[in-house]
């Protein structure tokens, strides 16, 4: 078992060394844009699931103990609405980051749309603790990236 773990860690190290060699600022921003686009598609599926246009998945084929307990809460394909809520929080903060760092108007518009769409997706999960986490994350982001402290 120790040999398998050692080989796994070696492969993990090789992957991330290769990843660091090909990662550039432009490629990283492209990855973030693809993540935002995928989150918009997930939020569209969450709205279909919330309004019961699409039936919820039955995960009992994975394990007999898994049951659908989350009535009227969108879970998309994350098994649990709270997991989808966490992904929405990350995507909202990614949209906020891209909005504040880009100069492209089309990307700013897309970030605003993706942020609001993910807010609606987050609302469909009925996750109570996500909204304070987003507010706290936005405040921390603003205070760590502010350039003019005289404004406060």
Q: Which of 113, 110, 118, 114 is nearest to 46 (CA)?
A: 118
Which has the closest alpha carbon to 75: 29, 116, 42? Answer: 42
Q: CA–CA separation, 17 vs 11, rounded Å?
A: 10
Please state whether the predicted TM-score (pTM) of the whole model is above 0.85: no
What residues contact 137, with CB distance under 8 A and at least 6 apart? 89, 93
Query: What are the Cα distances from residue 103, in Å, to 90, 100, 111, 112, 130?
Result: 22, 8, 12, 14, 29
pLDDT tens digit at each of 152 positions of the chain: 788 999 999 999 999 898 888 888 898 899 999 999 999 998 888 888 777 776 666 655 555 665 556 677 777 777 778 888 888 999 999 999 999 889 999 999 999 999 999 998 888 888 888 889 899 988 998 888 877 655 55
DSSP state of 57: P
């Amino acid at each position: 078992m120790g040999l398998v773990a050692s080989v796994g860690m070696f492969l993990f190290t090789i992957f991330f060394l290769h990843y660091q060699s090909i990662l550039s600022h432009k490629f990283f921003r492209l990855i973030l844009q693809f993540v935002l686009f995928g989150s918009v598609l997930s939020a569209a599926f969450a709205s279909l699931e919330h309004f019961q246009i699409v039936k919820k998945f039955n995960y009992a084929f994975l394990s007999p103990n898994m049951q659908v307990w989350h009535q009227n809460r969108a879970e998309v394909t994350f098994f649990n609405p709270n997991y989808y809520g966490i992904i929405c929080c990350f995507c909202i903060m990614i949209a906020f980051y891209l909005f504040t760092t880009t100069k492209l108007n089309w990307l700013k518009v897309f970030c605003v749309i993706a942020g609001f769409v993910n807010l609606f997706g987050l609302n469909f999960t009925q996750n109570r603790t996500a909204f304070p986490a987003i507010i706290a994350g936005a405040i921390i982001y603003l205070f760590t990236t502010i350039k003019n402290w005289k404004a406060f």
